[in-house]
Structure 1
Amino acid sequence: MPTAQPIVTVVRAGRQSYAAGLRLQAELAKQNVLQYTEFRNFLLLLEHDPVYTIGIRTKGYTSQDEDRLRKLGADFHRTDRGGLITFHGPGQLVAYPIVNLRQFTPSIRWYVGTLERTVIETCRQMGIANATTTKDTGIWVGDRKICAIGVHGSRYITTHGIGLNCSTDLKWFEHIVPCGIEGKGVTSLSEQLGRHISMSEATDALLDSFAQTFKCCVQEQSLARVTN
């Protein structure tokens, strides 16, 4: 295992459609390197236009459901990440780590657990001490999910990631069973803290937590520089 801390380049991509986010992930993940140590790790941060996404387990969502959700004014995508249906939209901090796990710990189980700890620490820094994991996926405050987690790994290269509700309009979730979990709800940083939480404030806490839990060095670079 490498002894030096891995370097992760942070890219703030702003507001993007879900399709654009997928293209960015694919572009950053497709690296022609011979050694895993040469892979350039990224943490892609963005905010999506309203979209419902389904992972590899569709659990009964049909084309009729897709039409129904599109009529609400949101896009709809089927993806190769883990997990069931969720919503991404304005006010939600989406983070896509695109990393080579051989530079960290070559285990998807370790990776998901470290992502969970990253979000829990982010919430703690923001003032929410009781955010935790449960038998259900994601990060929870009581019986309400504050952050969805759905990842994909191929040859130890990760894509997809997390969606942390900052000031998200939670009414979007009323039209689905979030992540296929019956009888539970969703919440946000703003709802829990009783004040508006900006994307910038949440991002600062997330980056600090990510560097701690993944034991890496983070450095920022503009989207234009990494895609040209």
Structure 2
Amino acid sequence: MSGAPVRVLRLGLRPYAEALRVQERCLGAARAARAGPGSPGSGCPGSPGPGESVVLSEPAEPVYAWGLRGAPEAAAAARLRARGAGLAAARRGGRITFHGPGQLLAFPVLDLRRRRLPLRGYVAALEALVLRLCRRLGLAAARALPPPFTGVWVGDSKLCAIGVHCGNHITSHGLALNCCTDLTWFDHIVPCGLEGKGVTSLSRELGRHVTVDHVLQPFLDSFQEVFDCTLVFSEDPGD
């Protein structure tokens, strides 16, 4: 797998639902690439290229999203909507969490069978990626916790949430890293269903304003190292 190409789609500030749509198109491309280089749709739509990709975005509006477990009850959902947030169900593991401006979303679409990487090893690789990023930024206190906890933590506060889906060995969804996120949005839920735990951000822990743009390059450097790949940059494939 050394040097295998992975296409990077940097969407910038976009609605959460739009990032999911781009991810779905890249999933289709990954499936087509596995079927063979001559199959329709190989490469992310819009141009030929590698079947694997990573979609990067910053949510343009606040949204509460949940995975295969833990959808809010109707009354709770109405309260969250009344605060001005959107609601979304996502096809991933994990319970309800918050996505919004100041947060980096990364959706890697990788073929774990080709990479000979088990799902638990993939989640550990995502954690290792974020830990490398934190070291690059000077945040030595970040750490991963043993199962059943996932993500990256500073003390008892979660810095980066991880929730993935894997179908036919191809991954989707991924991680949400709080850069300069308004953390008060998390006050209205139990993030990821973990009672007694908090949330934090790079800005809070480093004592300076850290935007999504600030972390993109160190994130990509860490991604390239952890997944042993060559990054190929692409424009947004569009609708």
Shorter chain as denominator, the TM-score bin is over 0.9
Say whether the 8 Å CA contact 1:6–1:104 is kept in structure 2. Answer: no
Alignment of 1:178-217 (within 5 A): 178-217=191-230
Residue 13 of structure 2 is aligned with which of 12, 15, 23? Answer: 15
Alignment of 1:20-35 (within 5 A): 20-31=18-29, 32-33=32-33, 34-35=35-36
Residue 85 of structure 1 is aligned with which of 65, 81, 96? Answer: 96
Post-superposition offset of 1:150: 0.3
In the alignment, which residue of structure 2 is the partner of 1:44?
A: 55
Q: In the TM superposition, what whole-angstrom CA distance separates every residue of 1:186-215 from its partner, at most 9, and x where no partner exists?
A: 100000011101211111111111111111
In the alignment, which residue of structure 2 is the partner of 1:177?
A: 190
Gaps (5+ residues) in structure 1? Answer: none
Post-superposition offset of 1:110: 1.4
Runs of 4+ in 1 over 3 A off after TM superposition: none
RMSD: 1.8
Q: In the TM superposition, what whole-angstrom CA distance separates every residue of 1:2-35 from its partner, at most 9, and x where no partner exists?
A: 4x42211111101222221211111111122314
Alignment of 1:163-174 (within 5 A): 163-174=176-187
Sequence identity of aligned pairs in percent?
44
Corresponding residue pairs, total: 223
1:98, 1:132 → 2: CA distance?
24
In the alignment, which residue of structure 2 is the partner of 1:131?
A: 142
Q: In the TM superposition, what whole-angstrom CA distance separates every residue of 1:98-155 from its partner, at most 9, and x where no partner exists?
A: 1112332242111111011001111111111121111422110001000000000101
1:187, 1:138 → 2: CA distance?
12
Post-superposition offset of 1:227: 4.2
1:64 is the counterpart of 2:85: no
Residue 127 of structure 2 is aligned with which of 103, 116, 125? Answer: 116
2:3, 2:116 → 1: CA distance?
12
In the alignment, which residue of structure 1 is the partner of 2:156?
A: 143
Match for 2:173: what amino acid? H
Match for 1:165: what amino acid? N
Q: Report the TM-score when normalising by structure 2.
A: 0.88
Say whether the 8 Å CA contact 1:6–1:103 is kept in structure 2. Answer: no
Residue 54 of structure 1 is aligned with which of 63, 66, 72? Answer: 66
Gaps (5+ residues) in structure 2? Answer: 43-49
